[in-house]
Amino acid sequence: MTLLEGLGVEGDAHAGATVQHRSRKRWRPDLPNLRQVHLLHAELLDDLTAQGFSVAPGQVGENVLTRGVDLLDLPAGARLHLGPDAVVEVTGLRNPCVQLDRFADGLMQATLRREPDGALVRLAGVMSVVLVGGDVRCGHDVRVELPDGDAVPLAPV
* Residue 29 confidence (pLDDT): 79
Q: In this structure, what DSSP letter does residue 32 have? A: B
Instruction: Report the C-alpha gap between 15 and 22 in whole angstroms.
Output: 12
Asked whether residue 136 is assigned to any structural domain, the reply reads yes
Asked whether residue 139 is assigned to any structural domain, the reply reads yes
- Helices and strands (H, E) in the chain, number of each type: 4, 11
* Residue 45 confidence (pLDDT): 96
Task: Give the domain extent around 114.
Answer: 2-145
Instruction: Report the C-alpha gap between 79 and 66 in whole angstroms.
Output: 14
Contact 123, 115 (CB under 8 A): no
Q: What is the pLDDT of residues 11-53, one digit of tens each?
A: 999 999 999 877 777 778 789 999 999 999 999 999 999 999 9
* Residue 143 confidence (pLDDT): 98
* Residue 44 confidence (pLDDT): 97
* Residue 97 confidence (pLDDT): 84
Asked whether residue 94 is assigned to any structural domain, the reply reads yes
Query: Low-confidence residues of the chain, pLDDT below 70?
Result: none
Asked whether residue 156 is assigned to any structural domain, the reply reads no
Q: Which CATH number does the domain housing residue 28 bear?
A: 2.40.33.20
Instruction: Report the C-alpha gap between 113 and 86 in whole angstroms.
Output: 32
Asked whether residue 97 is assigned to any structural domain, the reply reads yes
Asked whether residue 155 is assigned to any structural domain, the reply reads no
Asked whether residue 157 is assigned to any structural domain, the reply reads no
Closest alpha carbon to 34 in 78, 93, 86: 93
Instruction: Report the C-alpha gap between 33 and 40 in whole angstroms.
Output: 18
Instruction: Report the C-alpha gap between 109 and 154 in whole angstroms.
Output: 20
Asked whether residue 54 is assigned to any structural domain, the reply reads yes
Q: How many domains, in total, are found in the chain?
A: 1
- How does the average pLDDT of the chain come out, rounded? 94
End-to-end CA distance of the chain: 23
